A and B are shown apart, each in its own frame.
Chain A
Amino acid sequence: MGISLKEVNFSYNPKRKGTKYALKDINLEISPSDEFIAIIGETGSGKSTLASLFNALKIPTSGEAYVSGIKIKKVRKRRENYNKIRKHVGLVFQMSDYQLFEETVLKDVMFAPLNFKKTKEEALKIAKSSLELVEIDESLFGVSPFTLSGGEKKLVSIAGILAMEPDILIFDEPTAGIDPSTKKKLLKLFRSLNEIKHKSVILITHDMNIVNEYAKRVILMKDGTISFDSSPYDLFVNNRKIVKDANIDLPDSYKIIDLLKEKTSVRFNENIKIKNLGNIVEELINE
């Protein structure tokens, strides 16, 4: 059933007169499997707000939002909470420091499964397999998460979300401030989650190379509205005006193609999707 938003508006101060809406008239359908979505847009365009809405951390001011068939609305009773929704959608925060707090890495990853009423043995098993998935060495299981490097912290915080076994995974700028080797690891992980485990992956990112190479669908946010929702190919090839208006940098591969078109007589087949630099080289050899 995935995520379904119908005419959703969101404001941080809904009661104040003339309040600015962080999200305006959002209509969106996200399937619970096999999607790879990149959410792009300038700072303050509502990307992170949208992501926290998917996780029921924010409640729509108006409109309807459903996550796997459950409506996101304010809970009144003490006993109720949003865990039914959060079980389906895992959100990895930009700052991994906000997420880590337990004494050891292993305990921290076990936090979520224990909250979802798994037994200790089950939680331990899930935690170990999630840490294995993000390639954290077993020697680090017993250390305090605060002694880890920035990249390792990120991996552990991702393992903490994977341990919830959600259908949809949201990563808020996962590659920001991360060293190249961890970045490579992360991207490989995202692809395997998407292609092998058939999870839906949502990336919030500013890196257009990642968007072009990995995403199957790209959502462009502008001033709290969705101004574009289609494939990256459609955005970077057919909608250059939108790219220019939104102040988005083109992916490196398209920059090179533009330069090649401008300076040489090489002609590319417009219908072939250029995902990375390797594709260009292949095309050039074919020519």
Chain B
Amino acid sequence: MNNFVLGQYVPGNSYIYRIDPRVKIISTILLMISIFFLTSIYEILGALLLILIILISARISIIKAVRGLKPLLILSIFVFFFQIFFNQVGQVVYSVNLNFSLLSIIAIISLTVLFIIIRKYINFKFLLFLVYLGSLYASLVYIKTTDVYYTYVLNIFDKGLETSSFVFFRLVTMVFIATLLTLSTKPADITLGFEYLLRPLKIFKLNSEEFALIISIALRYIPTILDEALKIMDAQASRGADFKGGNVFKKIRIIVSLLVPMFVLSFERSDQLADAMLSRNYVPGKAKTKYHILKWKTFDTIVLIMSFIILGGSICLFVL
């Protein structure tokens, strides 16, 4: 737990790090909106190219950005296949017969069992999943026996292929834009940016400073609480608690045994934190001076104007 890093921030000093967090947040939102105005696959690919150019010129490692895709990978693959299977417009570009016979069904079942067993012992789970899908496909296509129960003709249409890659690349571009923000901005700076941006909400009696403080305290304590959870788990395990085995009821009991001390400790700590803040003259809602003051630079104006131009451009493409 010593190497736990919150957020994805990677230290660096290229131009993107020098942009004001306020501008970065606004630009991220503007770029994301403009992605929605793009309608063809070529425009999306263009946008992706633009983002990649920004990533490379800002010396942010592409590998780290690609890693940001990981949580959405299953979703995007699902969307991709969904479109291929069900969008049947245009011309057929590829057609194949999927044969469901006794042998191929047995092959599918044994492949699934094999996949579940191997999955526990391997590190490249995603790669294994792809191999699994591939072998399922192969067993349906190439196992040809006489007792075929049912044949499904899989037709892949050019429009389906186009839409599916459009949806897929749009998702990828969106994630890259978001990663661009999180990779190059510290969580603390993002909070600070939001604090400044939410200031106008004061007319609705929402104090953005307090809001930002709540968020930053929450962020600050995530590693602490995680660390604590691990220690409690250790303490329980040393008294014979089994976190892996057991039935559902036992698991629930174990989780309760973990949550109770965590809640008690967290409440105690928040009380103490509040006292410590009050003893250092913190008065909720009262104005105070700042250590970090965001300064608007010419470069920030340029970035903001450019983001607006991109948004305008994509709206033009949409309308025309």
Contact = CB atoms under 8 A, between A and B. Distances in A.
A93 B235 contact: yes
Nearest to B3: A13
A81 B238 CA distance: 11
Nearest to B232: A98
A191 interface: no
Interface stretch (A109-117, A176-184, A205-213, A251-259): A109-117
Contacts, number: 71
A87 B232 contact: no
Contacts of A263: none
B228 interface: yes
A95 B235 CA distance: 10
Given A13-B3, A78-B245, A99-B235, A146 B240 contact: no
Chain A, interface residues (CB within 8 Å), range: 20 to 34
Interface string A84-103: 00110011010101111110
B46 interface: no
A241 interface: no
A101 B240 contact: no
Interface in B256-281: 256-258, 260-261, 264-265
B29 to A, nearest CB: 37
Given A81-B242, A115-B242, A12 B2 contact: yes
B231 interface: yes
A78 B116 CA distance: 14
A95 B245 contact: no
A99 B239 contact: yes
B241 interface: yes
Interface in B177-222: none
A173 B237 CA distance: 19
- Secondary structure of the B contact surface, majority rule: helix
Contact of A81 (B234, B245, B260): B245
A13 B1 CA distance: 10
Given A12-B2, A160-B239, A57 B234 contact: yes
Interface of A: 12-13, 52, 55, 57, 76, 78-79, 81-83, 86-87, 90-91, 93, 95, 97-102, 111-112, 115-116, 146, 160-161, 164
12 contacts: A57-B238, A78-B244, A81-B242, A86-B239, A93-B231, A97-B264, A98-B231, A98-B261, A99-B236, A101-B260, A101-B261, A115-B239
Return the 4 tightest CB-CB contacts between A and B, nearest first. A115-B240, A112-B239, A101-B260, A98-B235
Given A86-B239, A101-B261, 17 more contacts: A13-B3, A55-B238, A81-B242, A83-B240, A86-B238, A86-B240, A87-B240, A98-B231, A99-B232, A99-B235, A101-B236, A101-B256, A101-B257, A101-B258, A111-B239, A112-B239, A161-B239
